[in-house]
Chain A
């Protein structure tokens, strides 16, 4: 008598890719806008990027219902923080909060692959990358989602953080200018769209710097 298996799954994968790149005084967060299920497209115009605080933006791919729930929770917690501390949450603080929130559901996870991007309290770019249960690390750049296996090696090649084995430890943020970083992100998505069926339609790019947050859209292949 074999063990009874579930005949349904609570999860679905809506596909898509996210990227974040940290610079000396800016941070670029980008994600495609395609939402799919199986071999079908649900919509070509869905934003995976959410502003959590003044200088802190999160991009998430995976199961968008779980992503929505997570965004709602974090927004509520941020509101409470603002009322208790009379200031906005910094990016590293939000990073820790996200990690704790994800681990809280360790045994029924949010199927959400996140990258958090923003400016730290000194005004330098910071990027945090997560797995589905909250393991996180501050890095100079990261990608998550269905196209991440295509994107990450190219980012490694162009932006390579010096190896952690080399001493003294060198800073992970890229020396590229803001416009060069945005061009890099556009190229990376155009290439991922060629080879990953779940990435495409439009690219949403969010740039955070001392002046504030600005948004840019470019067209991608729609097939």
Chain B
């Protein structure tokens, strides 16, 4: 009757365990010895059959005989094989004595392969395992979007420049960067700190004087006296401008970089004027 089974299932009609590919037929049955769909390896079409299967790292020998063909529950007899390779091979030989050579040989081959892959599993688990972490698309997209927005909000270039300028101000670079204007401003600021109170009082007086003087100048012709007054006008206005500029310097730190040098040139020149005109006024006064 095994021949009948093979004629129907194996060759002609449908077998649910059979997988056909271009070159070969495979058998998906879990009791199959070789995995191919052959007359000699089909567990359904052979009434006397044996396989090796492993469960949880232990190998078992499964046997099927004709006597038990009527009892599907007791069909497959299971024998536990020892962990020792050679002993297990002997056990296979013992159990399958008087069985066809093909089945015995294939059983031993299968057992060898199984032990080899079990050894490999044990070795790999000791080594470093690569952990695969699944990516979640929604989360990846969200992170990317947040990163872009954070980048825009960060304004990195500005932040770095600001930090560097701060460090320059706090003299972390010491004497490397010799910006004379910087030192000059510092000196000026010190001077201002000393003469601030004086200049405040002077400012108010000068304002009134200037107003009067301006009116006076416009009305009269140019005389020596007027020339004196005009000088005084210039000096006072210069002083005022200087004070204002220093105030503006201290307030607007980074706002006028370009006007800076142009502005800073003025104090240089004006001081020279002061020096020149001061003796002149003195002489004229006397």
Do A and B belong to a common assembly? no
